[in-house]
Amino acid sequence: MLRRHIAILALIFTFVLTGLEGGQTLAARSGGGGHTTASATFSLVLLDSTDGSAHWGQRVTFNVTTDVSEPHVNVVCARNGVVVYGATTGFYATYLWPWTRVMTLSSQMWTGGDADCTAMLWYADGRNIATLGTLAFQAAQ
C-alpha cells in the first residue's frame, strides 16, 4: 500500500514537471490580488562524482539562492518513462528545516542503470505552489 502511495505521488510530480519548461532561473508570481515576483537560482552539486556527472547510487544536493523564505527542491527520476525515484527536501536559510539536504540517487525500484532526472525548485505561497525553476540532468549507471 505504501509503495502505491509513493508511486502515485511520484507520478503527480512527474506530470507537474513534464508540463514545465525553462531554465534554472525563473520568476514566480504569488497568488492574491497583487502580484509579487520571487527570484531564484539553483544548481546541481555532485557530492560523490569523480567524472563531473551524476550516477546511480551517488549523492547530490543543490546550491539554492532565492529571496523566498522556505524553498524546496523535488527530484524525480525516470527510466524508460517509468518513475523510479522521487525525493523532496527543504533549503531553508534558517533552522526550520532540520532534515538532510542530500539525496541519494537510488530506490527499491531503481537498482541500477541510467535515468532521466528533473529537479524543481518551488515554494508554497498560501494555498498555491509557485515554481521557481526546473533543471534536467542525466544520472548514468
Q: What digits encode the pLDDT tens for the residues 56-104?
A: 999 999 999 999 988 999 999 999 999 999 999 998 876 666 788 999 9
Sheet holding 103-104, edge to edge: 40-46, 59-66, 103-104
Q: Within the chain, where are the H helices?
A: 2-18
Q: Which residue has the higher pLDDT, 35 or 68?
A: 68
Q: Quote the pLDDT of residue 18.
A: 37
pTM of the model: 0.73
Question: How far does CA 79 lie from the centroid of its chain?
Answer: 17
The answer to whether residue 51 scores a pLDDT higher than 60 is yes
Domains of the chain: 2-140 (2.60.40)
Task: Give strand pairing partners of 43.
Answer: 63
Residue type for 84, please?
Answer: V
Question: How far does CA 31 lie from the centroid of its chain?
Answer: 22
Question: How far does CA 52 lie from the centroid of its chain?
Answer: 19
